[in-house]
Amino acid sequence: DGGITQSPKYLFRKEGQNVTLSCEQNLNHDAMYWYRQDPGQGLRLIYYSQIVNDFQKGDIAEGYSVSREKKESFPLTVTSAQKNPTAFYLCASMPPSGTGELFFGEGSRLTVL
């Protein structure tokens, strides 16, 4: 079945450590996105990529980094520079159909101890 796979589902890290969240899709979509979700704040865009080897900052990119070396993969690194990294992270992709529909993975919940 086609879809978006995020891993790990739950992750704990100590302050000062970088952590990388995986996002893989087999939907053959060009566009991919990373969102952060905090209670009561909806979904905020971290980074997005329209094509391999290209990506743009979203609204809250500080303290995060991404890469897009393959169409299927769009990993997100939460660096130690991110001051409040505990959150639910959602990866999504969009087909070129022009409907604006996003397909989401199941999310990764990061907790900083």
Partner 1 sequence: GQSLEQPSEVTAVEGAIVQINCTYQTSGFYGLSWYQQHDGGAPTFLSYNALDGLEETGRFSSFLSRSDSYGYLLLQELQMKDSASYFCASPGWGYQKVTFGIGTKLQVIP
Binding footprint of partner 1 on the chain (CB under 8 A)? 31, 33, 35, 40-45, 48, 50, 56, 58-59, 90, 94, 98-107
* Residue with Cβ nearer partner 1 (18 or 57): 57
Cβ(99)–Cβ(49) below 8 Å: no
Residue (85 or 105) nearer to partner 1, CB: 105
Query: What is the H or E stretch that residue 44 is in?
Result: strand 43-51
CB of 45 to partner 1, least distance (A): 6
Shortest separation between residue 16's beta carbon and partner 1, angstroms: 28
Number of other residues whose CB lies within 10 A of the CB of residue 75? 16
State the nearest-atom distance from the C-beta of 80 to partner 1, in Å.
Answer: 27
Distance CA 67, CA 42 (A): 24
Question: Cβ–Cβ contacts within 10 Å for residue 64, how many?
Answer: 21
| β-pair partners for 13 | 112
Nearer to partner 1 among residue 2 and residue 98 (C-beta): 98
Degrees (nearest 5) of the Cα angle 78, 75, 91?
A: 90
- Shortest reach from residue 109's CB to partner 1, in Å: 9
Nearer to partner 1, 11 or 43 (CB): 43
